């Protein structure tokens, strides 16, 4: 039997976690954008590729988190 971990958290707790994760992922994406710009300026194709790969993963993470956040009841409606 698997534990339903999400049931152990209130909607407010979930919203707080998801919001914090969104900020964390956005911060990481910003850093990778800076890394990519530096790599482009120095002509390092390998570092540009690494930054692009990291940005692609973070884009998915941001999308998944945004979708989960949207599933929660609207705070204004409560």
pLDDT at res. 75: 74
Q: Is 8 within a domain?
A: no
| 48 contacts 40 by C-beta, under 8 angstroms | yes
| 5 contacts 17 by C-beta, under 8 angstroms | no
pLDDT at res. 77: 62
pLDDT at res. 78: 54
Q: Is 12 within a domain?
A: no
The SS3 of residue 33 is: helix
- Tell me how many domains the chain contains: 1
What predicted TM-score, i.e. pTM, was given to this entire model? 0.84
Residues with Cβ within 8 Å of residue 12, at least 6 apart in sequence: none
* Mean pLDDT per 10-residue section of the chain, whose length is 78 residues: 89 96 98 98 98 98 96 78
pLDDT at res. 60: 98
**Domain span at residue 67?**
36-71
């Amino acid at each position: 039997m698997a534990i339903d971990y999400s049931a152990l958290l209130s909607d407010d707790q979930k919203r707080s976690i998801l919001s914090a994760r969104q900020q964390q992922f956005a911060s990481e994406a910003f850093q990778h954008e800076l890394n990519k710009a530096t790599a482009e300026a120095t002509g390092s194709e390998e570092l540009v590729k690494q930054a692009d790969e990291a940005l692609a993963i973070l884009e998915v993470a941001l999308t998944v988190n945004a979708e989960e956040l949207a599933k929660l009841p609207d705070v204004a409606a409560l």
